[in-house]
Amino acid sequence: MAENANKWFVVRAISGKENKIKKYIEDEILRNGLSSQVTQILIPTEKVYQIRNGKKISKERSFFPGYILVEANLSGEVPHIIRGVNGVIGFLGAEKRGEPLPLRMSEVNRILGKVDELAETEEEMNIPYIVGENIKVIDGPFNGFNGTVENINEEKRKLEVMVKIFGRKQPLELSFLQVEKES
């Protein structure tokens, strides 16, 4: 079988269960000996950073919830097997059990480029604050205090903030994630 016969298709799946469904599809393809016809199964994800209990944690989140990309040659049993997997709703672009429509290469490159870009710049965030801006501390011992941005250290991703404590201004060095814009 020619390798270029494989095209990218979008499988609709139950949102939030993409990883489990991807595993089910992989297992089903292996069980039926169709690995040569399904070359890749991909869930486009991005890293999201949150602060929990004062600690910065990263979490992967699907940026197309409910969709799984499959590179396959959809001939013979393959579409039927994929549709039969628990949690799969169907193929995107297919009218009621009709032929699945493949993605254009430009779309695939854009999606895969976005995945690579997110992997390379895992922690690149733009600087959301400017000097003189009023902010509110949302984490740490000064939680709830209001202050003014005095200086921004882009490399360390820290802000120097002037906070009024007991009537006196006090400088603090805080992470970007420890403050939010005052509303």
For the segment 74-117, what is each residue's pLDDT rounded down to a tens digit? 888 888 899 899 999 988 876 766 788 888 888 888 887 766 65
| Residue 24 confidence (pLDDT) | 94
Residue 124 has pLDDT above 60, yes or no: no
Q: Render pLDDT for 140-183 as a digit per residue (tens, 0 to 9).
A: 888 889 999 999 888 778 899 999 888 899 999 988 888 888 86
Token reading at 13: 């799946």
The reply to whether the predicted model has a pTM over 0.85 is no
CB 16 within 8 Å of CB 61: no
12-57 pLDDT, tens per residue? Answer: 999 889 999 999 999 999 999 988 889 999 988 877 777 676 677 7
- In 3D space, the residue among 97, 45, 35, 44 whose CA is nearest the CA of residue 72 turns out to be 35
Quick one: pLDDT at residue 105? 85
Q: Let me know: does 65 contact 16? Beta carbons within 8 Å.
A: yes
Structural domain boundaries of the chain? 3-120, 134-181
pLDDT of residue 129: 81
CATH number for region 134-181? 2.30.30.30
Interval 8-12 mean pLDDT? 91
Fold category of 3-120 in CATH: Alpha-Beta Plaits (3.30.70)
Q: What's the CA gap between 43 and 38, in Å, rounded?
A: 15
